[in-house]
Amino acid sequence: MARDAGALGPAGTAAFDGLALLGPLEGSTALISGATGGVGAIAVRLAAARGARVSATAEPGSESDFVSTLTDAEVTVIDYTHDVTAQVRAIAPDGVDAVLHLAGDAAELTAVTRDGGAIASALTVPDASEDRELHTATIQSNPTPTPCPRSPGRSPPAPQGVGELGVRPGACPRGNRRVRRRRPRQDRDHRRPTSPYPRRFPHERTITMPSIAIVGAGPGMGLAIARTFGSRGYDVALIARNRAKLDDLVGRLTAEGITAAAFPADVRDHDALTQALKDAATRFGGIDVLEHSPAPSIDSVGLTSPSQTSASDVQGWIDFLLCSAITATQAVLPAMREAGAGTLLFTNGAGSVDPIPMLGNVNPAQAALRNWALNLHKELAGTGIQAAHVAIGVWVGAGGPP
């Protein structure tokens, strides 16, 4: 629980504001698609607390059990591995009143929203056929971030109405997420059921979506980290040397409904790495989590035992692991200090704690990074920023030592 606490604020705000875009929920039927993620789980609780009859998508087993325990109110679980439309129609023959789309097929979810109902999506633009009357809202990134109100000389006042949507007064919205809406056609058949939702939504709301920058992103651990955070509502910035491989990872994540972008840079090129992180912050309105885990193939580097290790054997790894981590941190830490929140994660091998003779030139650099990260955490105590070192005792992916 404690390790996930850093995501509570952004996830809670996104859930609160997403439901607010759907209008009044008391007495309505609400479907949360993507209920097992951080945003979705909170949305289930909030919708139930507001008096909605909640249904939520989850796979049978542990996911279904998790969703069922989120609230004391009854939650109807929709198995997303089978016919979602049939399951929703079984409980709401005319369709549900409101849909919060965090995962799943947008067209299918639009189809099970009743005429006059509302759908808000964090993934795409909900599109209704011309003969239907739906209130739709889409959360999309605006590349121009809203400056932090607590940063001297940078920030206009928060947009009017933000406070009522759950953004803590004085909080720092990382970025401005604009919401596009399709207005109902005025010539539609007014004999249709009267919608309990307002005809017009406010022009703009600020929705905070967190982001993570993964330095050293690859098809093994980097992709797994991207999926873990992305499935919980994070935008994902992928940073590595090979543009083609990054584009492939972005394509795979996009197909899974995760917002991701590639920012090529060699971690040993400090200027390029700094620029990549600045570009990522501009693209997503800031960086909430920095994850640093570059790892070359063992075949591409030489390994030496402790007694055979020279100073030059270690220096390359110091530059690759420690210096790149310091550079990346310097690129994102000032904004985190201004926001009063952030997470810095540094991942490498367990040899940083328990050295292995065959990695005599690698382990010193890993241990140096661990020492620096733990010391950084001590320095940042009380700032709202957490720094941590993660030591992994198994080789991830191909190309490991024999």
* CATH number of the domain residue 260 falls in: 3.40.50.720
Mean pLDDT of the residues in the chain: 78
Domain count across the chain: 2
In a domain, 187, yes or no: no
pLDDT of residue 126: 60
The most distant pair of C-alpha atoms in the chain lies apart, rounded to whole Å, by 86
Place of tokens 């590349």: 143
Between the alpha carbon of residue 76 and those of residues 43, 189, 220, 241, the distances in Å are 14, 32, 36, 46
* 112 within 8 A of 96, measured Cβ to Cβ: yes
The label of the residue with tokens 């620029």 reads: 275
Residues 126 and 249 in one domain: no
pLDDT, mean of residues 221-244: 92
Distance CA 255, CA 299 (A): 32
217-232 pLDDT, tens digit per residue, is 998 889 999 999 998 8
Residue 22 and residue 110 in one domain: yes
Residue 295: which domain range?
211-392
Residue 50 neighbours by CB distance under 10 Å: 17
For residues 185 and 39, what is the distance between their CA atoms, to the nearest angstrom?
A: 31
CA angle 154/157/159 to nearest 5° reads 125
Whether residue 15 is predicted with pLDDT greater than 90 in this model: the reply is no
In a domain, 189, yes or no: no
The pLDDT-based confidence of 127 (bands split at 50, 70, 90) is low
The answer on 222 and 100 residing in a single domain is no
CATH number of the domain enclosing 138 = 3.90.180.10
Last residue of a domain, one of 162, 182, 202: 182
Find the mean pLDDT for residues 274-284. 93
One domain, residues 241 and 325: yes
pLDDT score recorded for residue 30: 96
Regarding whether 145 and 221 lie in a shared domain, the answer is no
In terms of domains, do 251 and 374 share one?
yes
Q: Give tens-digit pLDDT for 140-186.
A: 444 444 433 333 333 333 333 333 333 333 333 343 333 333 334 34
Same domain, 297 and 161: no
pTM of the predicted model as reported, rounded to 2 decimal places: 0.52
CA distance 280 to 371: 27
C-beta neighbour count of 311 within 10 angstroms: 8
What confidence tens digit (pLDDT) does each residue in 289-335 have? 999 999 876 555 678 899 999 999 899 899 999 999 999 999 999 99
Residues 21, 141 share a domain: yes
Q: Assess whether pLDDT exceeds 80 at residue 276.
A: yes
**pLDDT the model gives residue 128:** 59
386 plus 239 within the same structural domain: yes
CB atoms within 10 A of CB 299: 9
pLDDT tens for each residue of 111-125: 999 988 999 887 765
Q: How far apart are CA 166 and CA 384, in angstroms?
A: 20
